[in-house]
Copies of this chain bind each other. A is one copy, B any other.
């Protein structure tokens, strides 16, 4: 009992050579091994509970079956888990496993992390950020590398990022399809600040805004029925924005015909704030005003009342797809260094309804 059985032990138990064991267990027994030996090996392995030592296997095969995931801020994002989970899940499907390294947002530590992973003989690397980012620099490595939720401009590696524009278009179209004709977007301000959450929004903000304008214009809507109000990224920004857009200076709601019936928020926090602002004006959601958020932020969107209809950021899918691309490269396929856009699925909850009139 006790110590892990080695291939030798299996061979001994089955009364065959280690070569036979290796052949059988690795499926290289095409015409080489007799059915009887095959059976004996399988049985012995099962009885002993034999599992090959992955370290030795990796050493010999020059392939560790480990992929390294280095990220800038596992800790400080409500989204962190999803990307990692997606990557881990996809990796596990191919008998790969994930080695995670957190650089705490310090680019200097990225290189160290990568070096450590190299020493561990990882077969490939995923570099992920927790907010969508355009990267200035990247750690250097001879290994296949895929970027998740970030990219370089111009592109130097394959990368997967959310289709912000597509999501924003869907947000607008959702409202349009429900019959809304007066729609305002509560947008984020232009780039500034250095907090991770803010930076994340900064990249997405202008993209989401442009797509919103395009979608409403394509539907034949024009100013002033459609407009964009720049507010901010936080809950109170959304609240103030809603107050300004839906109410007058005295804090009363505008007459129904004079205010938008639908609101597109640049993220879920702003949407939550807008719901608060609407309530303060005595307006009901979604009866008096419909609201669509963006991000499907965990612990927020689903817990609002009513639940917030929003566009989900495909974090899990990004992790999954990044590993996908990595495997493709590992299998020798040529993967172009391009940005792959992943759709942001609409999560329908309770904040969209047809306009009153």
Q: Does A355 contact B (CB under 8 A)?
A: no
Which B residues touch A279, using CB under 8 A?
Answer: 276, 279-280
Instruction: Write the A75-93 contact mask toward B (1 if CB under 8 angstroms, else 0).
Output: 1111011101110110010
* Interface-lining segment among A12-20, A99-107, A157-165, A208-216: A99-107
* Interface-lining segment among A131-139, A175-183, A218-226, A298-306: A298-306
8 Å CB contact of A120 from B97, B142, B269, B299: B97
* Interface-lining segment among A25-33, A231-239, A285-293: A231-239
The answer to whether B98 touches A100, judged by C-beta atoms less than 8 angstroms apart, is yes
The answer to whether B77 touches A81, judged by C-beta atoms less than 8 angstroms apart, is yes
A101–B100 Cα gap in the complex (Å)? Answer: 11
The answer to whether A102 touches B74, judged by C-beta atoms less than 8 angstroms apart, is no
Q: Which residue of B lies closest to A120 (CB)?
A: B54
A2–B119 Cα gap in the complex (Å)? Answer: 14
The answer to whether A99 touches B102, judged by C-beta atoms less than 8 angstroms apart, is no
A48–B316 Cα gap in the complex (Å)? Answer: 39
Which B residues touch A75, using CB under 8 A?
Answer: 81-82, 85-86, 316
* Interface-lining segment among A56-64, A253-261, A332-340: A56-64
Q: Does A39 contact B (CB under 8 A)?
A: no
Contacts A55-B64, A59-B59, A276-B279 given; does A92 touch B101 at CB 8 Å: yes
Which B residues touch A280, using CB under 8 A?
Answer: 279
Q: Does A118 contact B (CB under 8 A)?
A: yes
The answer to whether A269 touches B299, judged by C-beta atoms less than 8 angstroms apart, is yes
> Nearest 9 A-B pairs (CB), nearest first?
A80-B81, A75-B85, A236-B305, A78-B299, A51-B119, A74-B85, A78-B78, A78-B298, A74-B81
21 contacts between A and B (CB under 8 A): A51-B115, A53-B59, A54-B119, A54-B120, A54-B121, A55-B64, A74-B81, A74-B88, A75-B316, A76-B298, A78-B298, A78-B299, A80-B81, A84-B100, A85-B102, A88-B101, A97-B116, A235-B305, A239-B305, A298-B299, A299-B299
